[in-house]
């Protein structure tokens, strides 16, 4: 009688458990298929940034740029810090001071802090102002670290449609852990439109302004 009653109510506990397991498995498979469809589409474009190419002026005086200093200073540039909204390879735009969105189907060439790190290193190398500059793991005998916080790196669509880049930078004496200098650098450049191409071009120009200020400042600080 018990077995018959179980059949009327939908089967024995064992059978009901099997049906639930099969249903859960089917649901999990459906979710996996949907996620696979989302991540399988590659971005339409990857964007990089430009390093500063300005070399030191040939007329620079020894007092302004001592040759001895340029021959011995070695710098380390760790990966910059950023809030989660910018610690991503998504390209950010702000429609208001507090609302952040991202361009669809386009990405930075890597996580934004890593791209910035590479371009800062390249800019310092291009300047010829220091003997060596590198990133963690390269085994340099470091004199100073260049610590960067990325405060802004986006298109501000609400503020005159501008690419905005802002860094807070500290120079750390690697021998004693003392901060020897700190400064905030900011660049802004008008975007011709709100397309991804125009937004990235404006942010790249703003970064160029920041690097043009930052590289000689680092030279003076170390």
Q: Are strands 74-76 and 144-156 parallel, antiparallel or unpaired?
A: parallel
User: What's the pLDDT band for 74 if we cut at 50, 70, 90?
Assistant: very high
31: pLDDT strictly greater than 90: no
**What is the distance between the terminal CA atoms of the chain, rounded to a whole angstrom?**
90
Q: What is the mean pLDDT of residues 19-26?
A: 43
pLDDT at position 60 is 42
pLDDT at position 135 is 93
pLDDT in tens, 44-71: 899 999 999 865 444 344 444 444 345 5
pLDDT at position 11 is 52
Q: 49 by DSSP, 3-state: which?
A: coil
What separation in angstroms does the CA of 49 have from each of 19, 54, 110, 112, 198? 55, 15, 11, 10, 13
pLDDT at position 55 is 56
Q: Is 140 left (phi over 0), alpha (psi -120 to 50) or beta?
A: beta
Which of 160 and 43 is assigned the larger pLDDT? Answer: 160
Which of 21 and 195 is assigned the larger pLDDT? Answer: 195
Report the alpha-carbon distance of residue 219 to residue 222 in Å, rounded.
6
Q: What is the mean pLDDT of residues 176-202?
A: 97
184: pLDDT strictly greater than 60: yes
């Amino acid at each position: 009688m018990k077995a018959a009653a179980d059949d009327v109510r939908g089967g024995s506990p064992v059978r009901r458990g099997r049906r639930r397991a099969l249903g859960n498995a089917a649901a999990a498979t459906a979710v996996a298929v949907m996620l696979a469809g989302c991540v399988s589409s590659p971005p339409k474009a990857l964007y990089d940034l430009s390093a500063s190419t300005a070399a030191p002026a040939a007329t620079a005086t020894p007092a302004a740029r001592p040759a001895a200093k340029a021959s011995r200073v070695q710098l380390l540039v760790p990966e910059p810090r950023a809030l989660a909204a910018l610690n991503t390879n998504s390209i950010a735009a702000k429609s208001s001071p507090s609302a952040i969105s991202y361009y669809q189907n386009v990405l930075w060439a890597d996580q934004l802090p890593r791209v910035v790190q590479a371009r800062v290193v390249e800019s310092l190398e291009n300047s010829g102002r220091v003997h060596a500059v590198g990133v963690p793991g390269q085994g340099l005998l470091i004199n100073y670290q260049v610590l960067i916080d990325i405060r802004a790196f986006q298109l501000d669509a609400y503020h005159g449609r501008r690419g905005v880049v802002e860094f807070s930078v500290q120079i750390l004496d690697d021998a004693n852990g003392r901060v020897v200098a700190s400064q905030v650098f900011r660049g802004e450049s008008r975007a011709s439109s709100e397309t991804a191409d125009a937004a990235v071009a404006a942010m790249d120009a703003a970064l160029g302004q920041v690097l043009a200020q930052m590289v000689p400042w680092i030279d003076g600080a170390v």
